[in-house]
Amino acid sequence: MRRNGARAVGLLLGAAADAVISDPRRGHPVALFGRAAQRLEDRLWADRRAEGTLFTGLAVGSVTLAAFGLESLSHRLTRGRNRAVIEVVLVAIATWTVLGGASLRAEASAVADQLERGQLPAAREQLTHLVGRDTSQLDPSQIARAAIESVAENTSDAVVAPLFWGAVAGVPGLLGYRAVNTLDAMVGHRSPRHQRFGWASARLDDLANLAPARLTALLTALLAPVVGARPGPVAQIALRYGNQHPSPNSGWCEAAFAGALGIQLGGANRYAGRTELRPRLGEGGDPQPADLGRANALSRAVGLSAALLAAAVARSVGAGARRTGPVRA
């Protein structure tokens, strides 16, 4: 098995593992990285961009370099079939570590179940596992909207984006991207503490997700028939509304999901006593609890297609490198 084939197989195995093996409640590598990053933040924090940029560089750089070193060491110590097997295992483990599609859909399903049983307080509490906004006063439609927005955005952040970077950069791409995205979740929001310190993490996350978010919108449009929609109109809605969101990336995913589900997302969100008005995305009615199951089905289809596409890209990248070969003086 050639190296590009090993990476492709590893990506597919890791995606399959994410679908069937639940994340551990304790000791997940991403959580361990988060705790280490928190300790680094405590040491470096200052209300300045310079310290935040150093924090981002050290946290992301250490993970990416460690992944590159592990991959390089495995290549030096093995050869032939053993090398391919080791690469499959490394890529599969890294892929399973960074993907979060199954956990995302499980949390959204739990919210939908609570709403179905009429347990509004429980649904509001369950929703806090998906969003950072104040959920205490949300009605069923607003809960459904928040959950669907999270499913749409995280289908890109937790599934398509890591697969994208894994396809083009292997284990360093997988782990490096997850480090970037984790830091954005930790310090990238505009709180008083992180307004300046988190600037570099937020901008790096924006950059890392530029292509994956648009790829997510494209896959969502192509797979819209899964939820009874047509690709053309969904693509038009994504193009019309994708740039209207404050985030350069989230709007594309949310607009595409809104178009596919025939609903409208966006509106007022409350965060720690302040209200943010998000633009309305889409041209349908307000989301309903039943739309959550459809959003999950669409997310699952997008994740599967992204895994297949990532494997194909991994093979073509490796094949292209072999055809080009080294440049000789």
Task: Average the pLDDT over each of 79-83, 187-191, 299-303 and give the range with the smallest value.
Answer: 79-83
pLDDT, tens only, 17-52: 999 887 776 778 899 999 999 999 999 999 999 999
Which residue has better confidence, 328 or 175? 175
Confidence grade of residue 264 (pLDDT, cut at 50, 70, 90) = very high
Give the C-alpha separation, 242 to 255, whole Å. Answer: 6
Confidence grade of residue 208 (pLDDT, cut at 50, 70, 90) = very high
Q: Which residues contact residue 248 at a Cβ distance below 8 angstroms, ignoring those fewer than 6 apart?
A: 206, 210, 213
pTM value > 0.85: yes
pLDDT at 276 over 90: no
Report the length, in residues, of the chain.
329
The per-residue pLDDT for 263 is 97
Give, in degrees to the nearest 5, the angle at Cα 222 between 88 and 279.
Answer: 105
pLDDT at 216 over 70: yes
Task: Average the pLDDT over each of 65-69, 91-95, 316-320 and give the range with the smallest value.
Answer: 316-320
pLDDT, tens only, 7-24: 999 999 999 999 988 777
**Buried b / exposed e along 144-166 (16+ C-beta atoms within 10 A):** bbbbbbbbbbbbbbbbbbbbbbb
CB 197 within 8 A of CB 48: yes
Instruction: Summarize the chain as % helix, strand, coil (round to 5).
Output: 75, 5, 20
The per-residue pLDDT for 318 is 60
Task: Average the pLDDT over each of 57-66, 131-140, 175-184, 231-240 and give the range with the smallest value.
Answer: 131-140
CB 300 within 8 A of CB 101: yes
The per-residue pLDDT for 327 is 39
pLDDT at 94 over 50: yes
The per-residue pLDDT for 290 is 94
The per-residue pLDDT for 328 is 38
pLDDT at 166 over 50: yes
What percent of the chain is predicted at pLDDT more than 70? Answer: 95
* Average pLDDT, rounded, for the chain: 92
